[in-house]
Amino acid sequence: MASRQLMEAMNKGIARELQVAVQYMWQHVLWSGVKGFAVKDELKSIGVAEMKHAEAIAERLNYFGGIPTTKPEPIFIGKTLKEMIARDMKDEEGAMKLYNDIIKMAGKEGDVVTKKMFEGILADEEGHFDTFRTISEEI
């Protein structure tokens, strides 16, 4: 059984994943122009990946008897591509910190499954951050 602290951190992860799933999808829909055309499919792809993360975390939390949140963290769309990508990088950095903390907590609790799941999600988030960093160098 997961500790209350671990389950609360998992729910923070769900709220964060819901936030960025919507955020990236709306950025994909709303952005236009040559620069937007170059990145909008990547934003959509990352948004879908984030929703899958939310689902996986929610399933794990439910396994422990927790109730997954349905409320995302505040969603930020932005007015320019530069503003969007800067915020997206910040959000990915926050996720990486949170997921490193969850990995440590799960390890201390002997929860190998949760630890491995978040290691996989963390690897995805690092890839997302790298994508946004690369995009930011071009805008």
| % of the chain exceeding 90 in pLDDT | 86
Q: What is the model's pTM?
A: 0.95
Q: What is the pLDDT of residue 84?
A: 93
User: Which domains does the chain possess?
Assistant: 4-138 (1.20.1260.10)
Averaged pLDDT score across all residues of the chain: 95
Average pLDDT (25-50) is 88
> pLDDT digits over 102-121, tens only?
999 999 999 999 999 999 99
Average pLDDT (22-49) is 89
Q: What is the pLDDT of residue 37?
A: 77
Is the pLDDT score of 32 beyond 80?
no
Please state, in angstroms and rounded to a whole number, the distance separating the CA atoms of residues 95 and 110: 22
Please state, in angstroms and rounded to a whole number, the distance separating the CA atoms of residues 65 and 68: 9
> pLDDT digits over 64-94, tens only?
999 999 999 999 999 888 999 999 999 999 9
